[in-house]
Structure 1
Amino acid sequence: MVFRYPAPVTERPRPIVGPDYLVAGRYRLQSKLGGGGMGAVWLATDRLLHRDVAIKQVLTTQGLSEAEAQEVRSRIMHEGRVAAKLSHEHAIAVYDVVLEAGEPWLVMEYLPSRSVAKALALVDRLSPIEVAQIGAQVADALAAAHSAGIVHRDIKPGNILVADRGDEVGMVKLSDFGISSGANDATEEIGDVITGTPAYLPPEVARGARPTTASDVFSLGATLYTAIEGQPPYGFDDDSNVIVERAAMAQIVPPTRSGPLTDVLLHMMEPAPQRRPTMTEARNEILTAAFGPGTAPYILKAPVRTEDGTIPAWAARNSAAGLRSPLSSPLPRPQRAQAATPAAPQPKSKSFDFSALGPNAGPLAVAIGLLIGLLIIIVLVVAL
């Protein structure tokens, strides 16, 4: 009897991904834009619609079991379906989800931009008036996401983009719903995995609870706090476990630079989720605290501006401060009650007061008037 040993199973070689690589026969890669929690992000050209797109390559599934690899593929496809539900002017749009070499790629709107994280690397901290605009616009996008049943779950400075060139310079958009989920999606099991970035974790998530819309409110508050204060609310530590422990115990460093936004940020970062505002309420509180009531139309659809109506220097690539925005008037500020001031005294008339002449002032005034008139006539006659 002849025994035939089965041929060894060889893994199919994976393509080398780089510039000029064609994804799904349609998207030509140009250059790498960066990396994220789910994989590398590339600038690509959509050959069908002749436009630039950002396309996210999922981290390789090499080394995973087939079941684990399939779970990763399903997760990113789910991400694409969830994110595609959202259409908002302050959220990066998702165009397509495709499979290439057995792995999913997420095709998104490309916005030439600088993240708030990169801005903080340039200027250390942003002014409360600039952060208020960013916060209100991102909160507006998240309010729409929450209405669609979407929880972002990873709000942080690196995921908030500000256009740094072109016609959209200064415009704010929230990116990377990479670990987003439907608010009612029960497919995930609660376990030892904590989803999100430690520095911006709400206490309940740090303790292992499932992220909710209230968790997004906290993370946005923590992100805005970081932009103003120049450090995260739990401080710095090289050990991420220490940060998670501080988050679990809600050990927030009191803000000192947030000015009119102080109460709003502390409200958004309440340790108890039920005490936090909704995202819509948070948006309105930010607007009212920084600019006064009724200012939403001037803030939500406009680029980020300084108080005098210019685009901040950190938001404009290769540009000095002073670049005028399409709406270049100074920003509205809340009206504060002012103490009543007494009216300025009116200057007294320099005309003669005839009342000082007593009870015969009337006839005497007429006589004086006639005499003055007669003198004028005599002067004119002599002059002729």
Structure 2
Amino acid sequence: MGTEGDNVRVIGGRYRLEARIGRGGMGVVWRSTDTLLARQVAVKELAVDESLSEAQAHEQRERMLREARAVAQLRHPNIIVVHDVVQHDGRPYIVMDLVNGGSLADRIARHGPVDALHAARIGLALLGALRVAHAAGVLHRDLKPANVLLESGTARIVLTDFGIAQVEGATTLTETGGFVGSPEYTAPERMAGDRSGTGADLWSLGALLCAALSGESPFRRDSMGGILHAVVYEEFRPPAEAAPLLPVIQGLLEREPARRMGLDEAERLLRAYVATGATPQAAPPRMVVVAGTDVVVVHRRRVPTRVLLVAAAFLAAVAGAGVAAAALLADRDDNASQGPPSSTSVPTRTGTASGSPTPTVTVTREETRTATPRPTAPPGYRTVRDPQGFTVAVPQGFSRSVDGERVLYMSPRRTFRIGVRTAGPLSGGPAAEQRRAAADGPRSDPGYRDGKVTDTSHDAHDAALWEFTRDGFSAAEGPRRTMDLCWEEGGRAYHVWVSAPVGRIDEARGYFDAAVDTFVPSAGN
């Protein structure tokens, strides 16, 4: 038992819990004293589901402790320091560094939003923390302003509360026991129940940056159903305050994980803003929103139908969300080629008082290529018109070569390789094509492993993303990761892929996103 007296407990034989300084969905945080080393620490008392059987509760505690120990191995100036992990009276506790200062959420509540320069510096600090965590296979899964500490008297920004973190590849009890996290900052793939990767943390960062600049999450609504609807369906309407960092925020809030901005690209753009006060702009696909007599052009990406359907079912289970779910299902985008651009009425961001009808806007989708122009080449890239019948943006300094049916653009020393292959119609479509290739991977690619095929879309065309790791072409090169997107368009099939060392995959995602976003088949190809 802990030592009781004057409402003070001692756990682990040395940590005296003195005052509660925070509470969240995963437990209570105490200002404490390490009596052995005579220093102040923070102790998080993790909540345990009291409805579990004794065996289940034991399993939950053990998993929490394993995950906490994994987080304790992380070392970065912008990650909270974990000193110890203990179990006391059947309950797990995490002993952490005590950061004197409030959270970003406290800062916003007391003083309002931060300016763009401060937000960019917060973003850079969190990207540095996520880089280290992701490299160690740790996903945070609850990135939000309340979990970002601003140390008083210094400029240090600290990411904390890895209490629901997940070790990549492991199934955790916090995951299997139900949804855990903050819905306003949760990526659509997690809402849909998919196993999420590092991109889910980057989505959360995009929502956090928007909140830091405007004062609230862009997905805040009056109900859980409204939040889920906003995350998986509604067009992102950036607040005016987000304009200085909008290219980063939009890139991070890309709904399709395969097209979401990578960590390296987000870091590059934020550093550019800090250095120059200006962020490079890109022109993503768009749609037209008609509200009354006003016409507003906003940025758009197609939401995968599977995500819409799963989210709609989830919404229907939430009290008061039936209407939102019905609207979502009625407006699903199964096949843009089945008819002319459609219109639907959807709720605006907030309702009206006294039970008056919720205002609506009419959304008209433009699905033709002429209505959704490709982004121009990002800074540091050049647009090439390839003799094989396509244009694409590739980084400056990449050289071209041809390997059979494949066109390759490679960095010096072949570290990064961007590939394009065109073919005739596919038997069974892109998904079948990619799954055949994945099944053949162990034979065709030495050391093939961690293969995964994900159904997705590309500019309203069905597509499939194949990701896998293989041995490098030499022992010195090490293992490599490949991302390969396949889709059919105009009677032809297209593959665009990027291959890179496993340790530099985030940088490669930036190249991949640029290639996919700017790829255009030549007329008549």
The two structures share one fold, judged by TM-score above 0.5: yes
Greater alpha carbon shift after TM alignment, 149-158 vs 254-263: 254-263
1:75 pairs with 2:94: no
Change (3 A) 1:32 1:183: same
Paired position in structure 1 for 2:200 = 215
Change (3 A) 1:175 1:187: closer
Paired position in structure 2 for 1:203 = 188
1:248 pairs with 2:248: no
Conservation of the 8 A alpha-carbon contact between 1:192 and 1:208:
no
Conservation of the 8 A alpha-carbon contact between 2:138 and 2:167:
yes
1:88 pairs with 2:88: no
Paired position in structure 2 for 1:271 = 255
Alignment of 1:1-384 (within 5 A): 19-165=7-153, 169-187=154-172, 193-237=178-222, 239-249=223-233, 251-292=235-276
Give, in whole Å, the separation in 2 of the partners of 1:148 and 1:14: 34
Aligned residue pairs, count: 277
Give, in whole Å, the separation in 2 of the partners of 1:17 and 1:253: 53
Give, in whole Å, the separation in 1 of the partners of 2:14 and 2:61: 20
SS in 2 for 1:56: strand
Conservation of the 8 A alpha-carbon contact between 1:84 and 1:94:
yes
Change (3 A) 1:34 1:186: closer
Conservation of the 8 A alpha-carbon contact between 2:74 and 2:133:
yes
Alpha-carbon deviation of 1:52? 0.9
Task: Give deviations 1:15-66, integer Å, cap 9, x for gaps.
Answer: 8697431111111112111112211110111112221110011225545321
TM-score when normalising by structure 2: 0.50
Greater alpha carbon shift after TM alignment, 110-119 vs 202-211: 202-211
> Which of the two has greater strand per residue?
2
Alpha-carbon deviation of 1:195? 3.0
Which runs of structure 1 show a deviation greater than 3 angstroms over 4 or more consecutive aligned residues?
13-19, 60-64, 186-192
TM-score when normalising by structure 1: 0.67
Residue type matched to 2:89 in 1? A
Change (3 A) 1:210 1:195: farther
Report percent identity of matched pairs. 35
Paired position in structure 1 for 2:457 = none
Residue type matched to 2:116 in 1? P
Q: Pick the structure with greater CA Rg.
A: 1
Task: Give deviations 1:146-204, integer Å, cap 9, x for gaps.
Answer: 11111100000000000124xxx231000011111111224569768333211111111
Residue type matched to 2:156 in 1? M
Give, in whole Å, the separation in 1 of the partners of 2:64 and 2:4: 21
Residue type matched to 2:138 in 1? I
Conservation of the 8 A alpha-carbon contact between 2:101 and 2:149:
yes
Residue type matched to 1:175 in 2? T
SS in 2 for 1:258: helix
Change (3 A) 1:77 1:47: same
Higher normalized contact order (CA 8 Å, seq sep 6+, divided by chain length)? 1
Give, in whole Å, the separation in 2 of the partners of 1:64 and 1:190: 15
